[in-house]
Amino acid sequence: MPNVRAEALRALTQDCFQAAGCPSGDAELIARLMVLSNLRGHDSHGVRQMPRYLRNIQDGHTMPHTEMTVVRDTPSLAILDANRAMGHVAATRAMELAISKARQMHISAVGVRNLDHIGRIGAYPEMAAEQGMVGLCFTATLGPASIVTPYGGVQGRFATNPISACFPVPQGDPVLLDFATSVVAANKIRQALDRGKEADEGWMIDRQGRPVRDPQAFIDREAVMLPLGGPRGYKGYGLAVLVEILAGILTGAGTFATLRDRSNTNNVSFLIVIDPTALVSREYYEREILSLVEYLHDTEVRPGDPPVLIPGEYEGNQQRQREVEGIVIEEPVWNAIQEAAANLGVAVPTPVP
């Protein structure tokens, strides 16, 4: 499989989005976040999405250059309508607004709706943690397909509705929770197909409730995903409903129950930022979170097993490794990227041997 350095991949991605009509600053931001997803070990939401995002621009589903509308604005709250902007750009602007409001008001919530796919949800809470704040993101994945069934069902009722939370840790990887409320992200099933592999057991069922492992059955809409927890997924189902309400109803975007226009992905997101120093002193916060990290690391494991990780260390370890070793891309994904770049007249870097 081709291995491409992060820097080359960023340049390629930026050039493609600029050629597709994005302002250069936005193209730079999109490229940085997309490649960061690969670096942080989430290839499912990295550059493999580039051809799809570019197609959405070409088909007029996503606007490469648009202004957001402020629907509601108070000192601590806002709702933004992104007017079909690129997801990464709109979600970043919404998080920047949430951080600035939390600086003034100690806690803020900002909803953003009517935007394309925002990629790796964890990227946005990480922005708050980089500034010493706690960030949360709830994303209702409205759009063409309800691909996740409620607990006990065999029919899709919503999509993968991810949740992320990020807490700063002094001189260490931030504590980062970042996952779909379905058993895995849907793109991991598409990724399994590209790798010629089966989906894991417990990810999908068919309309008769029988387990399914063939990724093609999911693409053909013959199988639906189970909520987080798989066959015992009532808690994942509950979390998915939480996201549908927080991000769907509280932003005014609605839910799959009332969704009429299913032509576009709408990664409607509800962001919360908290300034921890408004509650406890910075010294106390740092001392306590470092003690918690150390305490969890000190957990005994079974002989031969790797040490316990803190949520977010997987991403930190992947990034340190991939910055050095490069990013490995599946052959069909690399072919699709090359084709998309060629259509825009953008030169493609040569993978490293």
Among 24-32, 99-107, 179-187, 328-336, the segment contacting ligand NAD (CB under 6 A): 179-187
Task: Check if the beta carbon of residue 229 is closer than 8 Å to that of residue 239.
Answer: no
Calculate the alpha carbon distances from 306 to 132, 164, 179, 208 in Å. Answer: 30, 25, 22, 39
Q: Which of 88, 120, 157, 322 binds ligand NAD (CB under 6 A)?
A: 120
Number of chain positions touching ligand NAD (CB under 6 A): 28
Q: Which of 93, 117, 157, 322 binds ligand NAD (CB under 6 A)?
A: 117
d(CA 88, CA 65): 13
- Choice between 177 and 328, CB closer to ligand NAD: 177
Q: Which of 51, 135, 227, 311 binds ligand NAD (CB under 6 A)?
A: 311
- Choice between 88 and 101, CB closer to ligand NAD: 88
Task: Please state the length of the chain.
Answer: 353
Provide, rounded to whole angstroms, the least separation between the CB of residue 32 and ligand NAD: 15
Question: DSSP states of 119-181 as a string?
Answer: --TTHHHHHHHHTT-EEEEEEEEESS---BPPTT-SS--B----EEEEE--TTSPPEEEEE-S
Among 28-36, 119-127, 333-341, 344-352, the segment contacting ligand NAD (CB under 6 A): 119-127
Among 156-164, 205-213, 280-288, 328-336, the segment contacting ligand NAD (CB under 6 A): 156-164
Provide, rounded to whole angstroms, the least separation between the CB of residue 297 and ligand NAD: 11
Q: Which of 46, 51, 111, 119 binds ligand NAD (CB under 6 A)?
A: 119
Q: Is 253 in the site for ligand NAD (CB under 6 A)?
A: no
Planar angle of CA 328, 24, 187, nearest 5 degrees: 35
d(CA 314, CA 309): 7
Provide, rounded to whole angstroms, the least separation between the CB of residue 142 and ligand NAD: 10
Look at residue 54 and give its three-state secondary structure: helix
The residue written with tokens 């606007």 in the block is 63
Q: Is 109 in the site for ligand NAD (CB under 6 A)?
A: no
* Structure token pair of residue 10: 């960023």
Q: Is 227 in the site for ligand NAD (CB under 6 A)?
A: no
Provide, rounded to whole angstroms, the least separation between the CB of residue 331 and ligand NAD: 22
> Most distant CA pair in the chain: distance in Å?
56
Closest listed residue to residue 266, CA positions, set 275, 256, 276: 256
Calculate the alpha carbon distances from 103 to 132, 217, 318 in Å. Answer: 10, 48, 31
Q: Which amino acid is at 303?
A: P
- Applying the rule CB under 6 A, the residues between 199 and 218 that interact with ligand NAD are none
- Choice between 63 and 185, CB closer to ligand NAD: 185
Number of H helices, E strands in the chain: 11, 12
Which positions from 27 to 66 touch ligand NAD by CB under 6 A, shown as an x/- string? ---------------x-xx---------------------
Q: Is 92 in the site for ligand NAD (CB under 6 A)?
A: no
Q: Which amino acid is at 55?
A: R
Q: Residues in the site for ligand NAD, rule: CB under 6 A?
A: 42, 44-45, 117-122, 139, 141, 160, 162, 164, 176-180, 184-185, 188, 267, 309, 311-312, 314-315
